[in-house]
């Protein structure tokens, strides 16, 4: 079969990369790319998608705001029309919610749309990602032909980037730096001063800094959105997926300098935000009760889960500034995959973090959900470790006995 791009064509167009090496999205063998694939799991288990308890995607378990849901139902009659081209209604509402001018915001089909537009707008040749991180940064950069390096936030530094090392790395003049705050899957949160320091260093080297804040709504006061609106090298990525539980509707946005926003308007496809997302987004931002309840719930529920995890031997949960926890298995012979498989049989999905750069097979991530579901998960984890440690002890005792010289 003829390849879409011949090598000679690629050379002529000065395309350096081989896109065939990039794993296609939605590929059948690509199981561990993201959390949240309840569709595939439900099919495998012979259940309905809604019957899977999903701890693998870190989404507010309250579900979409009741106000937003009612507005969606009322707007069914509008679905035969195109959505508002620039999604002005939600852009206006976001501006008022964040107390920022509209000219500093652009909305799109989830923040992922912007992760893919960023390389188109800035045409970077060399990028740096602070990892472990969301895999789409690398993929979006690589499909656009950009060379990508990683700067690892090591476990020994609490999964925070070591700043002197990072600043030294930035001397290598990257076109763009991606980091997430709070980071995913570690949930490490850098304070505003540190982000500003990084932004300044980036500025000195002509590097654009992308700060992915899709998990910051739970700690909104930590956002650097106001600074992003006035600096010319800072892009803040935001989303309504996580806090507002709108993953299926796809609504994300960027906060940046008006000139940067203006460049994005040239690259954005029309109607990328659908009517239901616009309507639900507006209502969600007005639902103060939902917003306050969500923040309060997370504080209480996260402590509950952390406390219970502390009592499960062989598990270490890292401190968390987001609505999920990164957990390490401290028992030799047990991998995250084993726990994932065990829980899947019970219809529970967790995120094996083995595919994240900088983590290993002994890390997994769980979202904080509602009490009933959290209890189910914690009970099952307790049972898993009771059974596994007994089995492992038995087999090592047998091995020891085998090693004792006979006669």
Ligand X SMILES: Cc1ncc(COP(=O)(O)O)c(C=O)c1O
Nearer to ligand X, 83 or 110 (CB): 110
3-state secondary structure of 366: strand
Q: Does 213 bind ligand X (CB under 6 A)?
A: no
Q: How far is the CB of 168 from ligand X (least distance, A)?
A: 25
Footprint on residues 229-288 left by ligand X (CB under 6 A)? 239, 241, 247, 252
Point out which span in 13-21, 94-102, 104-112, 343-351 binds ligand X (CB under 6 A): 104-112
Phi, psi of 55 (to 5 degrees): -95, 0
What's the burial of 198, exposed, middle or buried (CB within 10 Å: 0-12/13-18/19+)? buried
What's the rounded Cα separation, in Å, for the pair 355 and 230?
36
Point out which span in 107-115, 166-174, 314-322, 362-370 binds ligand X (CB under 6 A): 107-115
Q: Does 207 bind ligand X (CB under 6 A)?
A: no
Instruction: Report the residue from 110, 124, 161, 281 that binds ligand X according to the rule CB under 6 A.
Output: 110
Token reading at 41: 């799991």
What are the angstrom distances between the C-alpha of 119 and each of 106, 126, 137, 378, 388? 16, 10, 10, 41, 46
Applying CB under 6 A, the site for ligand X has a residue count of 12
Q: Does 111 bind ligand X (CB under 6 A)?
A: yes
Point out which span in 16-24, 105-113, 346-354, 379-387 binds ligand X (CB under 6 A): 105-113
Point out which span in 108-116, 198-206, 265-273, 342-350 binds ligand X (CB under 6 A): 108-116
Instruction: Report the residue from 130, 140, 211, 214 that binds ligand X according to the rule CB under 6 A.
Output: 214
CB 254 within 8 A of CB 71: no
State the virtual CA torsion across 226, 232, 234, 238 in degrees, nearest 10: 60
Q: How far is the CB of 122 from ligand X (least distance, A)?
A: 18
Q: How far is the CB of 389 from ligand X (least distance, A)?
A: 32
Nearer to ligand X, 236 or 309 (CB): 236
Instruction: Report the residue from 131, 142, 169, 212 that binds ligand X according to the rule CB under 6 A.
Output: 212
Nearer to ligand X, 104 or 111 (CB): 111
Question: Which residues touch 258 (CB under 8 Å, ≥6 apart)?
Answer: 101, 103, 104, 229
Point out which span in 65-73, 110-118, 146-154, 294-302 binds ligand X (CB under 6 A): 110-118
Nearer to ligand X, 239 or 388 (CB): 239
User: Binding string to ligand X for residues 125 to 164, with x set by CB under 6 A, is what?
Assistant: ---------x------------------------------
State the virtual CA torsion across 23, 25, 29, 34 in degrees, nearest 10: 110
Nearer to ligand X, 214 or 260 (CB): 214
Phi, psi of 128 (to 5 degrees): -125, 135
What's the rounded Cα separation, in Å, for the pair 327 and 187?
11
Q: Does 122 bind ligand X (CB under 6 A)?
A: no
Q: How far is the CB of 243 from ligand X (least distance, A)?
A: 11
Q: How far is the CB of 340 from ligand X (least distance, A)?
A: 17
- Spatial strand order of the sheet with 234-239 comes to 105-108, 252-256, 234-239, 208-212, 176-180, 126-131, 147-152
**Which residue, judged by CB position, is nearest to ligand X in the bound state?**
110
Footprint on residues 165-204 left by ligand X (CB under 6 A)? 180, 184
**Span between the terminal Cα atoms of the chain, in Å:** 68
CB 40 within 8 A of CB 27: no
Q: HSE-up of 379 (CA within 13 Å, CB side)?
A: 8
What's the burial of 39, exposed, middle or buried (CB within 10 Å: 0-12/13-18/19+)? exposed
Nearer to ligand X, 248 or 333 (CB): 248
Angle formed at CA 292 by CA 286 and CA 295, multiple of 5 degrees? 125
Name the E strands within 78-233.
Answer: 105-108, 126-131, 147-152, 176-180, 208-212
Point out which span in 13-21, 37-45, 84-92, 106-114 binds ligand X (CB under 6 A): 106-114
What are the angstrom distances between the C-alpha of 271 and each of 82, 86, 95, 189? 7, 7, 19, 34
Residues that bind ligand X (CB under 6 A): 110-112, 134, 180, 184, 212, 214, 239, 241, 247, 252
């Amino acid at each position: 079969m003829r390849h879409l791009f011949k090598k000679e064509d690629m050379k002529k167009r000065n395309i350096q990369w081989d896109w065939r090496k990039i794993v296609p999205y939605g590929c059948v063998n690509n199981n561990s790319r993201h959390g949240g694939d309840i569709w595939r799991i439900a099919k495998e288990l012979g259940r309905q998608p809604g019957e899977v308890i999903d701890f693998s995607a870190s989404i507010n378990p309250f579900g979409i705001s009741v106000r937003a849901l009612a507005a969606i139902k009322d707007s069914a009659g509008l679905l035969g029309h195109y959505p508002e081209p620039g999604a002005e209604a939600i852009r206006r509402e976001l501006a008022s919610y964040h107390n920022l001018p509209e000219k500093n915001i652009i909305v799109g089909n989830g923040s992922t749309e912007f992760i893919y537009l960023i390389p188109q707008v800035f045409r970077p040749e060399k990028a740096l990602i602070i990892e472990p991180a969301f895999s789409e940064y690398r993929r979006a950069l690589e499909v656009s032909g950009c060379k990508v390096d990683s700067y690892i936030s090591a476990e020994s530094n609490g999964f925070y980037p070591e700043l002197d090392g990072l600043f030294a790395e930035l001397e290598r003049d990257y076109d763009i730096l991606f980091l997430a705050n709070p980071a995913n899957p570690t949930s490490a949160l850098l304070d505003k001063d540190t982000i500003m320091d990084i932004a300044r260093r980036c500025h000195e080297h002509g590097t654009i800094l992308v700060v992915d804040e899709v998990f910051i709504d739970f700690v909104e006061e930590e956002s650097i959105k106001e600074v992003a609106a006035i600096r010319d090298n800072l892009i803040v990525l935001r989303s309504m997926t996580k806090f507002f539980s709108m993953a299926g509707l796809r609504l994300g946005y960027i906060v940046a300098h008006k000139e940067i926003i203006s460049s994005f308007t040239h690259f954005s496809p029309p109607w990328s935000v659908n009517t239901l997302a616009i309507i639900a987004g507006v209502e969600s931002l007005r639902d103060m009760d939902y917003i306050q309840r969500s923040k309060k719930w997370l504080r209480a529920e996260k402590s509950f889960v952390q406390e219970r995890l502390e009592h499960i031997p062989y598990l270490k949960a890292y401190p968390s500034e987001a609505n999920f926890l990164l957990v390490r298995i401290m028992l030799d012979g047990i991998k995250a995959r084993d726990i994932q498989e065990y829980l899947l049989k019970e219809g529970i999905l967790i995120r094996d973090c083995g595919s994240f750069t900088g983590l290993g097979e002994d890390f997994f991530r769980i979202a904080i959900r509602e009490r009933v579901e959290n209890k189910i998960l914690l009970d099952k984890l307790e049972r898993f470790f009771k059974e596994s440690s007994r089995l492992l002890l038995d087999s090592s005792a047998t091995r020891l006995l085998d090693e004792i010289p006979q006669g």
